[in-house]
Amino acid sequence: MSVFRGRYYHTIDEKGRIIFPARLCQVFTEKYDERMVITNWDGCLLVFPYNEWVAIEEKVFAQSIIRKEVRAFQRLFMSGAVDCSFNEQRRVLIPPALREYAKLEKEIVLAGMGRSIEIWNRERFEKEIENSNQNIEAFSDYMADLGI
């Protein structure tokens, strides 16, 4: 099964373009197509192949908008979503609002997360990894539940 995995350290240019690593593009072309949806979440950007995003939309839009937390979630997660694709040079243009949200300035990290990709400001990503390493014991039950 083709999944997104690995950490890739790159830069974002002054126009807001990033070059997607060949391995990540390979997963897109083998399993999906070049279309993707990028949105904001938890201090980074989440990249979903278009087909995966459609499945998410179906689940989210099945919820009642009468519930305040549903509207708040949609306002943050769904309204930030932008359709994108990579070009022949494997570049993707990240819209200004998403760059600002994730504080993408120069040094970035693309992190393969299985069915999605996270795009981080490198400094934020390294702090996130450091925090996770300091709390590694908290993952023990989760790992045990997975049978690892």
10-residue mean pLDDT series, the chain (148 residues): 90 96 92 94 97 95 94 94 93 96 97 97 97 86 88
The owner of tokens 């790159």 is 10
CA distance 49 to 29: 10
Q: Residue 132 belongs to what H/E stretch?
A: helix 122-134
Q: What is the pTM of this model?
A: 0.92
What sections of 5-49 are H helices per DSSP? 22-31
The owner of tokens 């995966």 is 52
Residue 124: the pLDDT is 98
Residue 68: the pLDDT is 96
What b/e sequence results for 92-115 when a residue is b if at least 16 CB atoms lie within 10 Å of its CB, and e otherwise? bbbeeebbebbebeeebbbbbeee
Residue 59: the pLDDT is 95
